Chain A
Amino acid sequence: MKIKKEMILREIAGENILVPGANAVLELNGLFVVTETGAFIWKNLTLVESEEELVEKMLDEYEIGKETAEKDIAEFLNKLRDFGIID
């Protein structure tokens, strides 16, 4: 999956935070706190070809059902799309 706007994932004071890096448009010049699953998805975003592959990776990592994983991933990716961070 392609990341359009560079964001840097950092762990600060126990929180996972996406920090704007290069080409972060001005409207996006803020911080995003993401959940642990969000951070996991973000770390794997560029390593996978499709959402399906992301689901598989998540099922390898977490003891959750496929439906929950699909829902969590879709929700997170939609948010990133809304902000124009990914295609």
Chain B
Amino acid sequence: MSTEPKLSTYLHSKAIKNEIPISGTFELTSRCNFNCEMCYVHDDCHKSDGLTTEQWLKVAEDAKEAGTLFLLLTGGEPLIREDFAYLYTELKKMGFMISINTNGSLLHKYFDLFRQYPPSRVNISLYGSDEETYKKLCKINAFSKVIENIKELVKIGVSVKLNTVFTDKNNHQYKEIIDIAEKLGVPISTTAYAYPQVRLDKAFGENLGRMTAVEAAECTVNCEKYRFRNYDFSERAKMLLNGQGTEKCDRVSCRAGRAAYWITSDGKMQACGMLPKIKLDIFELGFQKAWQELVAEVKDIRLPKKCIECKFTKNCNACAAMCYAETGYFDQVPEYICKVSENICRLLERELKE
């Protein structure tokens, strides 16, 4: 279910119609104090943040000029940048609606800043429900600090959302993780899908940390069952079987490259962070030209025809980025996703029978 305010939905639909880059993501750095094995962007060889403070401010001015209103600051870990407070303040003064993606471990450094200039939302990745899992998955004992920081941020009144990616290292804690969100009174999104790490030059279709398709399906259904434990799950199961997936057509139908873009830490414009196939240099081309080329290239993307005919199409969220990351092509069927969708349906049908 979408929690997006109606005004934002309306503005995005208008932006798509008029090809306005209303929504941007600035990947401020690929550095991170965590070292999660399933991460699609961070690896040890990245030693510098990439773009300088001045370069990011220039990008922001151009983005503002082009019509960007919503800005997501992400990484790596964006709060690790030494100039984060300065950058954030300047961006806020320019009139962006700013959200932040963070692992939550460094938030305490910015409580005063967020009191003065509250972000629209802070999305915090929650990787486990104890130190042991954090150590195993993220290679750092940061669980207590993250929880402490989330509590304080909620107390300040900042809108917080939790995100959890399940892998074979943390899927056993799905109940505890959902419990944490419920106790804190904050929304949580969970996914059992980890994108293949193609940005790190790993093979298409591979993510060393992720579960098998069958395990991912089980994890997805387990989370659903647990979240709806106080309700009649058959109703939820029916709803899920009736289709949550996006209406399939062979073109890109999300906002990426139509009203949204992503700037990587080295200054390349992509349609989304998971889609490195189309990369445009904003300093060489200029922001506006890069955006126009991106829009044109995204229009040319064709997705697998087979997916439109597929009987699981209603239950599948496969997109251009997934097709590319799984197969190396936009028009090839992402088998891993097919298996996940098929198994989710099988499990939901079994739930209904029981």
Contact = CB atoms under 8 A, between A and B. Distances in A.
Interface of A: 8-10, 12-15, 17, 19-26, 29-31, 33
A42 to B, nearest CB: 13
Contact of B7 (A9, A22, A29, A33): A33
Contacts, number: 57
Contact of B67 (A13, A21, A22, A25): A13
A26 B111 CA distance: 13
A10 B92 contact: no
A12 B22 contact: yes
Contact of B158 (A24, A26, A31): A26
A13 B68 CA distance: 9
Interface string B134-172: 000000000000000000000011110000000000000
B20 A13 contact: yes
Contact of A10 (B95, B116, B156): B95
Residue among B14, B95, B120 with most chain A CB within 10 A: B95
Contact of A13 (B5, B14, B97): B14
A19 B7 contact: no
Contacts of A24: 117-118
Interface in B115-130: 116-118, 120
Contacts of A30: 5
A14 B69 CA distance: 12
B116 A23 contact: yes
